[in-house]
Amino acid sequence: MVDIKSKREIERMKEACRITALVHQEIEKAIKPGISTLELDKIAERVIRENGGIPAQKGYPSGEKGVIDFPSTICASVNDELIHGIPSARAILQEGDIVSIDLVTYKDGYHGDAARTYAVGKVSKKAQELMEVTKQAFFEGIQYAKAGNRIGDVCHAIGEFVQSKGYSVVKEFQGHGIGRSMHEDPGIPNYGKAGKGIKLEAGMTLAIEPMVMVGKPDILVLEDGWTIVTEDGELAAHYENTILITEKEPKILTIL
């Protein structure tokens, strides 16, 4: 069942989303060759807590036997790591890397979720184009995120755009509803059929998140039980915002 938020709930969500956007702003300033992903994680937690929020991903249960709960504030995924990379003091960013930062803030009962892929110094043309396609895929999708349309319209637009540019989308992971819980209905894959799925209504809050790979759409899970990498070792990128469905154009809540 999809939760429709009241005006009061939306105002609370806006604050969680504002903090998430503020964290991304600070992380973007800090990213440079030589910084570790653990240092970025510390920046994120500091900014969230200074603004009265809680790092929602820290301690998030894996749900799998033998796999630790997620230990960090951010997911930091470098180069061929698609999502859920665990920050580390040993993961030192190098000139030419790309790093995807995914984070969720919890405040006053609600969540704000956003991801960005950042260039570390000067990157290759291949990496730059991947990041641009991934970001644009989000905007292609939300053109259809309007009351009265179907969730499949959004999914189809993302998948068609990505594939038209010669890239692949991951099939095993998807976007999601968001609000009181980090992950709510509906699931929002980055592919699908137009005209299918639930009808969008004003007051729905959704996390739309293209996850795009240069190569084949095949993935592996590393031994930590969290980090997802491309099977062929090709680059991957991630772009996400929390949005609000309205009677008109959708509102992006995680951009300052």
Number of domains in the chain: 1
**Cα–Cα distance between 73 and 237 in angstroms, integer?**
19
Rounded to whole angstroms, what are the CA distances from 124 to 5, 20, 28, 134, 241? Answer: 42, 28, 18, 16, 25
Question: What's the pLDDT tens digit per position in 206-215?
Answer: 999 999 999 9
Domain that holds residue 246: 7-252
In a domain, 110, yes or no: yes
Mean pLDDT (the chain) is 98
Region 156-182: mean pLDDT is: 98
Contact 207, 104 (CB under 8 A): no
Q: How confident is the model at residue 71 (pLDDT cuts 50, 70, 90)?
A: very high
In a domain, 1, yes or no: no
The CATH number linked to 244 is: 3.90.230.10
pLDDT for residue 1: 84
